[in-house]
Structure 1
Amino acid sequence: MKISKKVSVTAALASLALVLSGCVQTKNGKPYGFVYDYLAVPGQHVMDWLANIFGNSYGWAIIILTVIVRMVLLPLMVKQMRSATVQQEKISMVRPQMTALQKQQKAAKTPEEQAAASQAMMALYRNNGISMTGGIGCLPLLIQMPIFAALYAAIRYSPELSKAVFMNIPLGKASWILALLSFLSYLLQGYLSMLGMPADQKKQMRYTLLMSPVMILFFTMSSPAGLGLYFFVGGLFACLQTLIINFYRPRIRREIKEKMKDQPAPVIPEPVKPEVKQVKAAEVHDKNRNRNRNAGKQQHHNH
């Protein structure tokens, strides 16, 4: 499950980089293509409109756009984070059974024993409504990908946006300051999420929670500062979402305890001892030998 989370986040960020890297083509210095025509050009118009409202400041235009996008996505992202929290609490409550089954899987010496332990583990997940992915998905990130692509192309190919300056930071050039702020904001979000996490899962989740800020750091260091500004403000919103979930976590924990009281735990099969298997094999061998001996006697009697 932990591996699937890492793969899902990495795949989403890799897809994002792929979308932004080569979707806009140029001919005689003029950009064209689907991303430019249907995302960048409308994005430029939105940025121009917002900038005119806020004193021709494209920095504030990006901040306002980020707030609008995040407010629209807030219910979905809070719901997803709540789902992940529910999965974390369920896993924490069945941890003793999971540990016993994992030990049995390691101690299994035959395919039958391994299959029995795996089936018991699947039953444990199924009976308690635990998802193999832990309730973590990339839907909010995928929804934002058109916004990323539009903003990236608009900043790169719009003369006004590419030359805009916000707080003495050129928005059309990479900025290590905004890249570092984006990294810190998402690192803070990861730290806040671990505050309410069950203790037995903190060690497992540290790598996953650190990987996302590191990926964002490298991405924003090589992207226009306008995109770094978008990530920084988005990271602050992510912290707000995490605080909301942490506020409701005690109630979520109580609800799960009530629901899981009557859940039947799967029977954990005992491993078959080697001595028992040898005795059974000897018994079967003796039966076969006696059967063959009786068959020979019967044939001799017939003759």
Structure 2
Amino acid sequence: MKNKKLLATLAILSSATVFLSGCVQRTSSGKPYGWVYENMAVPTQHLLMGLSQILGNSLGWAIIAITFIVRLLLMPVMLKQSKNATIQQEKMAHIKPLMEDISKRQKEASSDEERMAINQEMLQLYRDNNISMTGGIGCLPLLIQMPIFAALYAAIQYSPELSSSYFYGINLGQRSFALVVLSFVIYALQGWLSTLGLPEAQKAQMRQMMIISPVMITVMTYVSPAGLGLYFFVGGVFACLQTLIINYMRPRIRQEIAAEMKKNPPKKPTPTPVKATEKTTAESTADNTATSAKKKRNAGKQHRNK
């Protein structure tokens, strides 16, 4: 499930890259036009230029200001999702023995029917104990930020003022290897912070996410102008802050889930019986072999009688 979620997130980011690179058209003279440019890039260019005048004519600080505003507005939603994910993690820790038993029987199943029945037990275990299959995390914050990505990308890419602007020696219109490295480091740090206070078993489950998430952001920063890379990096700082807040809340959440599980112990699912009339592949093969042998014996008898 986690692998599918990571692939889905990667697909969203990849689709965004393709969309952003091909949605703005140019005339024969090179002038950009199109819905994205006129309705997203141009207003963003005006907003950035206005903010830069307030912030000492610095477009870099203007991008940071936009990032700050966007992430501050998204903070309640992202904290709520992170809290839900933490609650799901704590619940799953309590039903882990039941999950391991079902997984073991699923591996030992000898037929497709038996495997399907055991899989239904796993789904029932999740339902009965009010545990989400997605772990409590959704793609809503990422989807909300997609228009911001599109607007900043088009604004920087197709504005001479923005594409030639510098921020502490970094050309905001060109790729910045410094921001590529910084983005990787800040999201790797956020991944490490998210494992603090977790049992070793849960840390092992999160190691894949700790690697894939920074790599995904690094790739996006590498293929984007530095202005968007600056947005990613500052967003990573906010992600670290959000993780520290959740780490502070985790002990209280753990106590609440422990009390809830003590009051209402994890419910063991009722095994789903496999229909007796349905035969396994091995049984069917054995029956076919016995039938063929019987036919051959009967054919031999008839031949001798003749």
TM-score, normalised to structure 2's length? 0.85
How many residues get paired?
274
DSSP 3-state at the match of 1:265 = coil
Inter-partner Cα distance in structure 1 for 2:177 and 2:187: 15
Q: Please name the residue that 1:50 is paired with.
A: 51
Aligned identity (percent) is 59
Q: Compute the displacement of 1:114 (Å).
A: 2.2
The superposition leaves residues 163-191 of structure 1 with CA deviations (integer Å, 9 ceiling, x where unpaired) of 11110111111100011111111111111
Q: Compute the displacement of 1:106 (Å).
A: 0.8
Q: Compute the displacement of 1:217 (Å).
A: 1.0
The superposition leaves residues 133-174 of structure 1 with CA deviations (integer Å, 9 ceiling, x where unpaired) of 111221111101111111111111111111111101111111
The superposition leaves residues 217-269 of structure 1 with CA deviations (integer Å, 9 ceiling, x where unpaired) of 12212211111111110000000000000100111111112222314522464
Inter-partner Cα distance in structure 2 for 1:271 and 1:76: 42
8 Å contact kept, 2:179–2:230: yes
Q: Please name the residue that 1:242 is paired with.
A: 243
8 Å contact kept, 2:117–2:272: no
Of residues 260, 265, 268, the one that matches 1:266 is: 268
The superposition leaves residues 200-226 of structure 1 with CA deviations (integer Å, 9 ceiling, x where unpaired) of 222222112311211111221221111
Inter-partner Cα distance in structure 2 for 1:269 and 1:147: 49
Q: Please name the residue that 1:121 is paired with.
A: 122
TM-score, normalised to structure 1's length? 0.85
Alignment of 1:1-303 (within 5 A): 1-27=1-27, 28-261=29-262, 262-263=264-265, 265-267=267-269, 269=271
8 Å contact kept, 2:183–2:232: yes
Runs of 4+ with >6 A deviation? none
- Structure 1, 2-11 or 17-26: larger mean CA deviation: 2-11
Shift in alpha-carbon separation, 1:65–1:270, aligned structure 2, 3 A: closer
Shift in alpha-carbon separation, 1:31–1:88, aligned structure 2, 3 A: same
Amino acid across the alignment from 1:67:
F
Inter-partner Cα distance in structure 2 for 1:90 and 1:128: 8
DSSP 3-state at the match of 1:129 = coil
DSSP 3-state at the match of 1:259 = helix
Q: Compute the displacement of 1:130 (Å).
A: 1.0
Amino acid across the alignment from 2:238:
F
The superposition leaves residues 113-137 of structure 1 with CA deviations (integer Å, 9 ceiling, x where unpaired) of 3233222211210111111111122
- Structure 1, 175-184 or 204-213: larger mean CA deviation: 204-213
Q: Compute the displacement of 1:3 (Å).
A: 2.1
Inter-partner Cα distance in structure 1 for 2:218 and 2:266: 46
Inter-partner Cα distance in structure 2 for 1:2 and 1:200: 15
Inter-partner Cα distance in structure 2 for 1:270 and 1:39: 54
- Structure 1, 119-128 or 201-210: larger mean CA deviation: 201-210
Shift in alpha-carbon separation, 1:111–1:175, aligned structure 2, 3 A: closer
Shift in alpha-carbon separation, 1:255–1:8, aligned structure 2, 3 A: farther
8 Å contact kept, 2:172–2:226: yes
Inter-partner Cα distance in structure 2 for 1:231 and 1:39: 19
DSSP 3-state at the match of 1:194 = coil
Q: Please name the residue that 2:300 is paired with.
A: none
Q: Which runs of 5+ in 1 are unaligned?
A: 282-303
Amino acid across the alignment from 1:155:
I
8 Å contact kept, 2:20–2:150: yes
Q: Compute the displacement of 1:86 (Å).
A: 1.1
Amino acid across the alignment from 1:265:
K
Amino acid across the alignment from 1:9:
T
The superposition leaves residues 59-88 of structure 1 with CA deviations (integer Å, 9 ceiling, x where unpaired) of 111111110111011101111111111111
- Structure 1, 147-156 or 115-124: larger mean CA deviation: 115-124
8 Å contact kept, 2:48–2:63: yes
